[in-house]
Amino acid sequence: MDAKKFLSQLIDIPGVSGYEEKVSKAIKEAFELYCDEVHCDAFYNVYGKKVGNSENSGPKIMLAAHLDEIGLMVKDIDDKGFISFTNIGGVDQRILLSQEVYVHGKKRLFGVIGAKPPHLQNRDQINKAVSMEEMVIDVGLSSEKVKELISIGDFITFNSPLTQLKGGNVCGKSIDDRAGVVMLYETMKELDKLVYSGEIYFVATAQEEVGTRGAIISTYKVNPDIGIAIDVTHGDTPDASKDETHAMDKGPAIAMGPNMHPKLTQKLMDVAQENGIDHLVEVAPGLTGTDARSMQVSREGVPTLLIELPLRYMHTTVETLNMDNVKKAAKLTALFIASLKEGWEECLTY
């Protein structure tokens, strides 16, 4: 399966933080094509293991990309069947009004998010953004039928399939970080072309959007010598600071800062340079807000790297990504793994 088709399939599968069972199962099935061992844990983390094809000893490396997505949750159902809701993860409430959604109750119900139209608002209301508390989901059914099919606490996902744009870009929901999971999948393929040593763990982590919880659990379990987090960063966007955004067509970004191991980061950039792989550098002076922050401090500490895919309109239903960067990031990661030969431990010392 090619990268774009896999991404399209993944973003159509519901997987809000804490409710990732279906997407976890789909990822497990995909990983089984290229891994020696695959399993899931009780938190829906997916672990794929590849054993190196070289006789040399090598490191235990863990790659992590999160499989969960932001979403909503049913908070109440009124006597007319309108559903009030709250958010799971960092949903930008400014984009909610008029979105199409699916409510996942006893059966999946299509609905739309609505609010009082401007014609019925007073002057003060017209000049203010509609808050989440003022919005409702309308599934078109009576209160009795809604309550029969939907319960308080059911989760809600957005209806926004993958769409092709010009210039190699695609857009849709939950590309953060299903694109990272696809990058893991592509890295597996790239490794099959190379000679490498050690044990490589590909982990699709759960509940990143609510506190990198899957990374905490899985890194403790794997206990790797080296951790590599794969996530997204901000692509260039109108009116956004150039210091905080990255070009969409110049390759993945390699993060530098205290969350990342400096010598490993330099080696990763050297590998990119030696192989002519486009890449950018992101300055990250504090916590990165990714799985890297939890990987780094697991057990007695894990030397960690962070590779990021530039993404526009993060945490909306039109997240936009250049697919070429997924391939470039996968190739870079595989070549980096293959570069860790005899004496790789020197990369971890100061």
Q: Note the pLDDT tens digit of each residue in 99-124.
A: 999 999 999 999 999 975 555 455 66
pLDDT in tens, 234-270: 999 988 777 789 999 999 999 999 999 999 999 999 9
Q: Contacts for 283-289 with beta carbons within 8 Å, 24 or more apart? A: 283/256, 283/257, 284/255, 284/256, 284/257, 284/259, 284/260, 285/257, 285/258, 286/257, 286/258, 286/259, 287/259, 288/229, 288/231, 288/255, 288/257, 288/259, 288/260
Domain assignment present for 163 = no
Q: Which residues belong to the active site?
A: 208
How many angstroms separate the CA atoms of 254 and 344, rounded?
20
132 and 275 housed in the same domain: no
225 and 339 housed in the same domain: yes
Which three-class secondary structure state does DSSP give residue 51?
strand
Which three-class secondary structure state does DSSP give residue 251?
coil
Domain assignment present for 23 = yes
274 and 125 housed in the same domain: no
184 and 271 housed in the same domain: yes
Which residue range is the domain that position 123 belongs to?
A: 71-158
107 and 235 housed in the same domain: no
Block mean pLDDT (10 aa), the chain, length 350: 96 97 98 98 98 87 98 97 96 92 97 74 65 93 96 98 94 97 98 96 97 97 98 91 88 97 96 97 93 96 97 96 97 97 81
pLDDT in tens, 10-36: 999 999 999 999 999 999 999 999 999
Domain assignment present for 77 = yes
Integer distance in angstroms from the first to the last C-alpha of the chain? 42
Domain assignment present for 166 = no
59 and 79 housed in the same domain: no
By DSSP bridging, strand 226-234 and strand 304-312 are parallel
141 and 221 housed in the same domain: no
Q: What is the CATH number of the domain that holds 83?
A: 2.40.30.40
Phi/psi at 329 (5° precision): -65, -40
205 and 336 housed in the same domain: yes
Cβ contact 44:21 at 8 Å? yes
Q: What is the CATH number of the domain that holds 282?
A: 3.40.630.10
Chosen domain end from 158, 192, 211: 158
Entry pTM: 0.95
pLDDT at 174: 97
184 and 312 housed in the same domain: yes
Domain assignment present for 165 = no
The domain tally of the chain equals: 2
pLDDT at 127: 63
Cis omega (within 30 of 0) for bond into 177: yes
Phi/psi at 169 (5° precision): -90, 150
